[in-house]
Amino acid sequence: MKSLAKLLTTALFAAMSLPASAADTPSAAAKTEKAYIGGGCFWCVEAQYLMLKGVKKVVSGYSGGKTINPTYEDICTGETGHAEVIEIEFDPAVTTFKEIVELFWDAHDPTSVTKEPMEKHGKFLPKGTPYQGNDYGTQYRSIILYTNPEQKQIAEASKTAFQPKFKDPIATEIVPLVKFYKAEDYHQNFQERNPNQGYVRGVVTPKAEKFKHTLEDQGKLKDEKK
């Protein structure tokens, strides 16, 4: 009996020393990372990146400024220093940060700034004011907010690599993320929840459809919307 007990004990310790099975070990695919970008109205950028394979979640919000806990009304003044941005949670085993940034240059026009002082919507805009389409102001500027040195290096290298594709200088800011503020609930997943809203039909959906074709061409479109 003692020898049997000894054998069982030895077998138990041997089993305990074996590597855990795949079912018991967190999969590398379960690990996610985050990216923060802004390219104009966050309704547009959100709708675009929700279609990217490997993206788990997109949150619209504000970042890049100094105002604490800004509201949408604060942002619209253009005086908070914040830009409308999105937080992208993604699976790096499916889509990398580098790919997210490379797609960023196609998702909007990163060179869009006023060439001369002008007045728009009854407001004076000095030369160099960022804009996307008909949205003018610093809150719509092109921006990448990095969370670590590796993201900074990737973003800067990508900006340099893509500059020859544009006639004008890329105006995208590449700055460290200090704080991300989630926007009000009604801004989240705006296109899907408001498909017939005027701005969505005239601006968001056309931009999303164009981006969808880019993803299809590159084999990066999600198989189904999640």
Spell out the SS3 assignment of 87-128. EEEECCCCCCHHHHHHHHHHHCCCCCECCCCEEECCEEECCC
Residue 76 annotated to the active site: no
Fill in the amino acid letter for 66: K
CA nearest to 174, candidates 147, 195, 200: 147
* Tokens standing for residue 1: 């009996």
Q: From the candidates 35, 37, 39, 41, which is the catalytic residue?
A: 41
* Tokens standing for residue 18: 């074996």
Q: Phi then psi for 195, rounded to 5 degrees?
A: -65, -25
**Residues forming beta bridges with residue 135, ordered by sequence position:** 132
Write out the catalytic residue numbers: 41
